[in-house]
Amino acid sequence: MSTPTNLENAAPAAPSDFIRDIVAAHVSEHKYPRVHTRFPPEPNGYLHIGHAKSICLNFGIAREFGGICNLRMDDTNPTKEDIEYVESIQADVNWLIGGWAEDRLGLKQNGQTPEAKMVDGKTDFFVPPVFGTSEEERKHSAVKLEPFYASDYFDQIYEFAVALIQKGKAFVCDMPPDQMDDYRRNGKASPFRDRSVAENLDLFTRMKNDEFPDGTRVLRAKIEVDAANIWMRDPLIYRIKHADHHQTGGKWCIYPMYDFAHCLSDYIEGITHSICTLEFEVHRPLYDWILESLDLPRPLPHQYEFAKLIPSHTIVSKRKLITLVQEKIVTGWDDPRLPTISGIRRRGVTAEALRNFAYNIGVTKYISLTDVAVYEHAIRDDLNKRAQRRLAVLRPIKVVITNYPEGQVEELNAINNPENPISGGRKLPFSRELFIERDDFAEVPPPKFFRLKPGGEVRLKYAYIIKCEEVIKDTAGNLVELRCTADLDSKTGGATSGRKIKGTIHWVSAAHCVDAEVRLYDRLFTEAEPEKDGRDFKSVLNPHSLEVLTAKCEPSLKEASLEERYQFERLAYFALDLDSQPGKLVFNRTITLKDAWAKEAQKS
């Protein structure tokens, strides 16, 4: 999005956490020629706010230490993955790192796969990154770039498996799945554990050549039968799966498991710091064992683990996100109520706000629940500096200024953003008939109410001080109109404009305003932990997570753009939605302004 040029760069100078400390130590001792991280999502769902934390960590490190961060699709399970997700992941990553770390993004030339070369007399596989480009440059470049894919390495990973067999460190196991699980749980050796290298090679080749049905045979690493760490109990590294792959089509009927593919993918790409979440901690010995068993010529990557983000008042598990989408509880993966990156973006949150949030929450190994208020604060903080102020009335009541001439129109000066003087101003039409916010009038005012009330005065922002003279109701007793008089000398800058009036309210001119659909989003769940104590998250859905209204907007909003952010004064921040058409404005409420009055009103 376009960024006002004079915005202070709110991004804090240098984040610090235990992983960056490790990287910094490696840099100072020149352990690696260059820091190289990676962000390796599986394309089986949309990226969410938890991934955003990981992206900010991995690209942040690349950025701070002059390194590179590869984007890699961790696509070793074709039955769960889809090209739709590959595409959404790229869009989301580009958006989040745009203008911040996009030049650290490691990609590869379209179709490029690792080549075998000799290093120190050993066969090696390596695929170099292309980096230092902006998204814009990539779009116009003749050389097409794309993410890395674990599936690009299936040939090499297969070779590594063969090498492991040849070293006597892997074997083909014919046990049925249930029995194998049972043996592993009980630390018993597979009866096939001691097959000869020749037989293993033959069987593995035949697995690859489509001679066996799914589930009949697997390749297992030969490590330890009864290791304390279950992941070291002769873990499975290749399985037969007759399924077309979104990248390799029908080429393979065997696919490597995560543990085998991931460390080797890291190695092939020259990754130095393989940063993942805590649940992989127990896999680390296996990660190291595989790489160390293969006698590889280049420095090995190492794995470091951190606690994933758990935000309050939402859910982040892919399976449950899918449920919300499929059961149409939300409108799609980019529903602005969802914690998906595409939903967050559509809601109007900027990438910078999301990055600042990621910085604020830090990185540790302690599993914690992050209060959504921290997230909301990051959004408000960003939007306050960025958003153009506008006047709009969500729930209108009509006001007639009885002492203002009929047919007269004044153009009043309004400031676009008091936080940002160079953002300039605009003209606001004022006339005899206006709309004000329903909540800004009370016939029977509660204590400390300093908005409009019968016989009371209030200031219209940028305009006059008005006094409520009469309340007009229909026969049913519903409020239809307020008749007010204005202090005609009190216009901003006028003789009596300095009068102390406690309340200032927003308004629009009835004859000049434009209608817009506004979608008022709120938290999707009413509870901080929707699934606390095994409760069904659907039982705590917030019934008011979306309210749609037609708002009365000042006319300048006709020129609203998708890139801009708006504050409807005294209400909330809004962004134009994708659904907007020429002549039909649709705004998403990104987040409300803090509302001290709501808190005060609740006390009484």
Partner RNA sequence: UGCCCGAUGGUGUAACGGUAGCACAGCAGACUCUGAAUCUGUUUGUCGUGGUUCAAAUCCACGUCGGGCAACCA
Interface of this chain with RNA, residues 402 to 421, rule: CB under 7 A:
417-419
| Contact stretch for RNA (CB under 7 A) within 2-10, 122-130, 471-479, 493-501 | 493-501
Q: Which 8-state DSSP code applies to residue 441?
A: B
Position among 6, 196, 209, 368 found at the interface with RNA (CB under 7 A): 368
Does residue 282 belong to the site contacting RNA (CB under 7 A)? yes
Residues in the chain, overall count? 604
- Give whichever of 123 and 370 is closer to RNA, judged by the CB atom: 370
List the interface residues with RNA, window 375-394 (CB under 7 A).
376-377, 380-381, 384, 389
Q: How far is the CB of 461 from RNA (least distance, A)?
A: 4
Cβ at position 544, least distance to RNA in Å: 19
* Whether 172 contacts 254, CB under 8 Å: no
By CB neighbour count within 10 A (0-12 exposed, 13-18 middle, 19+ buried), where does 488 fall? middle
- Please say which residue, 367 or 480, places its beta carbon nearer to RNA: 367
CB 304 within 8 A of CB 19: yes
Nearer to RNA, 330 or 570 (CB): 570
Rounded-to-integer distance, Cα 242 and Cα 311, Å: 38
Cβ closest to RNA, residue 126 vs residue 258: 258
Nearer to RNA, 328 or 599 (CB): 599
Is residue 307 close enough to count as binding RNA by CB under 7 A? yes
Using rule CB under 7 A, residue 323 touches RNA: no
- Does the protein bind RNA through residue 569 (CB under 7 A)? yes
Q: Is 313 exposed, middle or buried (0-12, 13-18, 19+ CB in 10 A)?
A: buried
Q: Do the bridges between strand 68-73 and strand 36-39 make them parallel or antiparallel, or are there none, so unpaired?
A: parallel
Does residue number 561 form part of the binding site for RNA (CB under 7 A)?
no
Residues in 85-144 that interact with RNA by CB under 7 A: none
DSSP conformation class of 249? B
Residues 183-212 that bind RNA (CB under 7 A): 184-185
Nearer to RNA, 23 or 330 (CB): 23
Q: Which stretch binds RNA (CB under 7 A): 244-252, 279-287, 519-527, 551-559?
A: 279-287
Q: Output the CA–CA distances (angstroms, integers) from residue 438 to 394, 429, 463, 561, in the order listed.
A: 8, 21, 19, 28
Q: Does 436 bind RNA (CB under 7 A)?
A: no
What are the residues facing 37 on neighbouring strands?
69
Dihedral in degrees, nearest 10, Cα atoms 247, 251, 254, 256? -40
Least spacing, CB of residue 348 vs RNA, in Å: 16
* Among positions 52, 172, 175, 428, the unique one binding RNA when judged by CB under 7 A: 175
* Options 208, 245, 491, 552; binder of RNA; rule CB under 7 A: 491
Report the C-alpha gap between 442 and 449 in whole angstroms.
Answer: 8
Shortest reach from residue 378's CB to RNA, in Å: 8
Q: Which residue's CB is nearer to RNA, number 99 or number 215?
A: 215
Q: Minimum distance between the CB of residue 526 and RNA, rounded to whole angstroms? A: 16
Closer to RNA at the Cβ: 282 or 549? 282
E-state strands within 83-207: 105-106, 108-109, 115-119, 122-126, 145-146, 148-149, 170-173
Measured from the CB atom, the residue of 119 and 374 that comes closer to RNA is 374
Tell me the closest approach of the beta carbon of residue 45 to RNA, in angstroms.
10
DSSP-assigned letters across all residues of 513-577: -EEEEEEEE--SBSSSSTTGGG--GGGGB-TTSEEEEEEEE-GGGGG--SS--EEETTTEEEEE-
Q: Under rule CB under 7 A, which residues in 1-20 are in contact with RNA?
A: 16-18
Q: For the purposes of burial, counting CB atoms within 10 Å of the CB of 503, is it exposed (0-12), middle (13-18) or buried (19 or more)?
A: middle
Q: What gap in Å lies between CA 59 and CA 88, rounded to an integer?
A: 18
Q: Which of 143, 366, 422, 477 binds RNA (CB under 7 A)?
A: 366
Residues 216-275 that bind RNA (CB under 7 A): 216-218, 228-231, 236, 239-241, 255, 257-259, 261-262
When the beta carbons of 94 and 384 are compared against RNA, the nearer one is 384
In this complex, which beta carbon is closest to RNA, that of residue 364 or of residue 402?
364
- CB-wise, 372 or 479, nearer to RNA? 372
Within 13 A of 332's CA, how many CA atoms are on the CB side? 6
CB 585 → RNA: shortest distance, Å? 20
CA pair distance 500, 484, nearest whole angstrom: 19
Give the separation between CA 460 and CA 436, rounded to whole angstroms. Answer: 9
**Interface positions, 578-597, toward RNA (CB under 7 A):** 593-597
Span near RNA by CB under 7 A; candidates 54-62, 70-78, 517-525, 536-544: 70-78
Q: Which of 83, 198, 367, 409 binds RNA (CB under 7 A)?
A: 367
Q: Which residue bears the tokens 């996100």?
A: 321
- Nearest-5° angle of CA 522, CA 524, CA 529? 125
Q: The tokens 């102390």 sit on which residue? A: 500
The residues with which 587 forms a beta bridge, in sequence order, are 518, 576
Cα distance between the two ends of the chain: 43
Site string for RNA, 510-549 (x = CB under 7 A): ----------------------------------------
d(CA 352, CA 382): 7
Measured in whole angstroms, how far is the alpha carbon of residue 63 from the centre of its chain? 19
List, as one string, the DSSP characters of 282-307. GGHHHHHHHHHHTT-SSPPPEEEEEP
Report the residue number, 95 or 464, with the smaller CB distance to RNA. Answer: 464
Residues 471-490 within binding reach of RNA (CB under 7 A): 490
Min separation Cβ 297 and RNA, Å: 26
454 near RNA (CB under 7 A): no
Candidate residues 124, 155, 159, 281; the one interacting with RNA per rule CB under 7 A: 281
Q: At what angle do helices 83-97 and 351-361 cross, to 10 degrees?
A: 80
Q: What is the DSSP letter of 235?
A: -
Q: Least distance (Å) from RNA to the CB of residue 476? A: 27
